Chain A
Amino acid sequence: MISRRSLFILTLALAVAAVPATGQLGAQGKGTIKIATQTPLSGELAALGEGMKLATQLAIEQLKGPVEKAGFKVELVPFDDQAKPDVGVANAKNILADKDILVVVGHLNSGVALPASEVYKEANLAMVSPANTSPLITDRGLPNVSRVCGRDDVQGAVAAQFAKENLKAKSVYIVHNKNQYGQGIAEFFQEWSKKNGVNVVGFEGSEERANFDPILTPIKAKNPDVIFFGGEYPQAAPLFRQAREKGIKSKFMGPDGVDSSELLKLGGDAVVGMHYTTVAGGVKEYPKAKAFADSFKKKFNKDPEPFAAQSYDSTAIALKAIEAAIKDAGGKMPTRDAVTKAVRKVKHSGITSAVEFDDKGDPKKATYLIYQVAKKWDDRKMVKRLEIAAPQKKM
């Protein structure tokens, strides 16, 4: 019957609606400046995304002083992009709707950052990325997008050079996981290996997560000096493990996607001794980051994950830009446009590096590190550290 059914549905709708009723109401008011994070807070990559969010929170608490002195409250608004492009775009619209948000710190995944940043561009809202390494992020030339980290093309080049010079590789076999990130970095590694005169004996992509037999069989026959895997640890670990079990003796390499203690848990002895490149070293490697790591641990009772320190730096840059923009506006609420312009002018001596942006939004000098995995994750050794400028021409 109509009345009973509509009653039922209304009750249902109300019951459902009542649940997520936290902190959504109100939160408006004069003199509040908000910084949003967009990172995966759920799913496989939640640990990284959560770390980024918490580091931003910490940075705001520690560094908001100058902005507060100018008479503004500073708040963090965290968003969960679920590492999905569609969700990232929907959130971005939500962010645009909140006029108090002047800077976005994020994302973790370039695949999400690319479409989301197009939305930010509509309002010329600044995005400072701590973690997006895809060259496309800045090569599109968006005025509102900057990043503090390095790029995959450089990372690939660094890895290729390391394979040749330090691992003395004459031949490499490249495997990737067929996602945007993995294939991208694998292609750069291939490109630079070829340029370096290293023999690329194979290049194979697969979404496979368990049975790597058919990929490993040709590898075994070709017996390369180095196997490079472009992708993340859930696939890298079983691949390397099965390779060792098959009796493959090549050295293993990977990009920053394998940078997780889970790699060791899943890969066991097979990954001990392998090398990986990254743009976000553990805080051990950054002398200035010690204090950050300590306060992070003290506040959140856990160690900062990779990209947490970079998020802290990104937030610091955002706050400096806001401060400058307030000054320019004569102490009034600055526009998004003004903040975006100010971001590019910030010179920041951060905890991970000194950041200064070029005209595409890349850091003039970015840090790249190479680690070797040890028996215990915390004992992994930094074997190389490089400061490299972003390539200026589009690649």
Chain B
Amino acid sequence: MDWELLLAIFPQVVMDGLVLGFMYALIALGYTMVYGVLELINFAHSEIFMVGGFVGVEILLTMQATGWLDTFNPFVILIFIILMGMAVSGVLAVVVERVAYRPLRGAPRLIPLISAIGVSFFLQDLVRLGESLWRNAFYLTYPSFAAFNTRIEIAETIDFSVKSVIVVVASLAMLFALQFLVTRTKLGKAIRAVAEDQPTASLMGVNVNRIISLTFLIGGAMGGAAGVLFGVQYNTINPFTGFIPGIKAFTAAVLGGIGNIPGAMVGGLVLGLLEAFAASYLSLLTGGAFGAEYKDIFAFSILIVILIFRPRGLLGEVVRERT
């Protein structure tokens, strides 16, 4: 066993895990908010995230074709594409809710869930079809910016790229902004009221439909931002990109306590770190007997264990069941 190597990569693995974890946290927000309000696993959220990634790459590729990419400051461009990704994904999430979930409100819980799976599958192929017709390819690459790829060296074995820092900072900023929105504003209060008790909130004069749409808008926007950041960080996107991160992010949401914003962050980080360690270390520790692929098995096992032993998650509260 090469302990020196294990130790040497430790900081780097932590950094990898944090970046991944924040990504999961951002996606998890969409699941957590929708679940909090509608008790629905928005299965299509992983595709909302993926669409955000495609919005980013389309804008960048268009700018590249017109030569604008070099004329603007990369950070300005980044903020612009994040905002655009948020806008498109947010609106898409609202549309999905209107078309595929709202008509099913009040139906048994399985019904909207199945519809959500349908939306997820539909969107995957829709994007694939669109990109096939538009670019004759559906594996797309983010143009890279030298400024983002610059590496900051801390020690001989520890360095990280500027874009990793961007992902962490942007995610933190959005998480705090959202937490503020939900806990400190009137809108947030309305969202919490709808989550707690829809009929009562409605009696108190809250427009429940509007609040649900807003929840989807906010959750979708966070997913869209995550999609753009994902593309910038890993510079590749395809229509099926969303599926696995989506499930992982849902796991993160459950891990942290679904319906709980700080919980999404904690769950995302725990899962991201666990996964990074599993993928980087398993093969080294077992002499290649078990490889990086077992990281997914890790993630799902955690999901099962958490659901069985602590179904309310790490930060979740005990809630009274509605009988």
A and B touch in the complex (CB under 8 A): yes
* Contact indicator B8/A221 (Cβ below 8 Å): yes
Given A204-B283, A215-B279, A221-B5, are A237 and B236 neighbors across the interface (CB < 8 Å)? yes
Q: Which chain B residues border A93 with CB–CB below 8 Å?
A: none
Q: Which residues of B contact A (CB under 8 A)?
A: 5, 8-9, 12-13, 16, 19-20, 137, 139-141, 144, 149, 151, 157, 159, 161, 230, 233-238, 240-241, 275-276, 278-280, 283-284, 288, 291-293, 295
Which one, B234, B240, B276, contacts A242 given CB within 8 A?
A: B234
* Contact indicator B19/A209 (Cβ below 8 Å): no
Given A211-B234, A214-B13, A218-B284, are A265 and B293 neighbors across the interface (CB < 8 Å)? no
Q: A217-B9, A242-B234 are in contact. List 5 more A-B contacts (CB 8 A).
A: A209-B241, A215-B292, A217-B13, A222-B5, A266-B236
Chain A min CB distance to B61 (Å):
11
What DSSP secondary structure best describes chain A's contact surface? helix
A344 to B137, CA, bound (A): 40
Q: Which chain A residues border B241 with CB–CB below 8 Å?
A: 209-210
Instruction: Give the nearest-CB partner of B139 in chain A.
Output: A234
Check if A203 is an interface residue, CB within 8 A of chain B: yes
Name the residue among B12, B149, B157, B292 with the largest chain A CB count within 10 angstroms.
B292
Q: Give the residues from 205 to 228 in chain A that come closer than 8 angstroms, CB to CB, to chain B.
A: 205-215, 217-218, 220-222
Check if A268 is an interface residue, CB within 8 A of chain B: yes
- Residue contacts A-B, CB under 8 angstroms, 25 given: A204-B292, A205-B291, A206-B292, A206-B293, A207-B293, A208-B292, A210-B230, A211-B20, A211-B234, A212-B234, A213-B20, A213-B276, A215-B279, A215-B292, A218-B280, A218-B284, A220-B12, A221-B8, A221-B9, A221-B157, A234-B238, A241-B144, A245-B144, A265-B141, A268-B141
Check if A98 is an interface residue, CB within 8 A of chain B: no
Instruction: Give the nearest-CB partner of A214 in chain B.
Output: B279
A209 to B278, CA, bound (A): 17
Which one, A203, A215, A218, A266, contacts B139 given CB within 8 A?
A: A266
* Contact indicator B161/A238 (Cβ below 8 Å): no
Name the residue among B230, B236, B288, B291 with the largest chain A CB count within 10 angstroms.
B236
* Contact indicator B141/A266 (Cβ below 8 Å): yes
Check if A143 is an interface residue, CB within 8 A of chain B: no
Check if A247 is an interface residue, CB within 8 A of chain B: yes
A182 to B276, CA, bound (A): 23
Q: Which chain A residues border B280 with CB–CB below 8 Å?
A: 214-215, 217-218
Instruction: Give the nearest-CB partner of A233 in chain B.
Output: B139
Give the 7 A-B CB pairs with smallest separation, nearest first. A214-B279, A238-B236, A213-B16, A210-B234, A214-B280, A221-B9, A266-B141
Chain B min CB distance to A245 (Å):
5
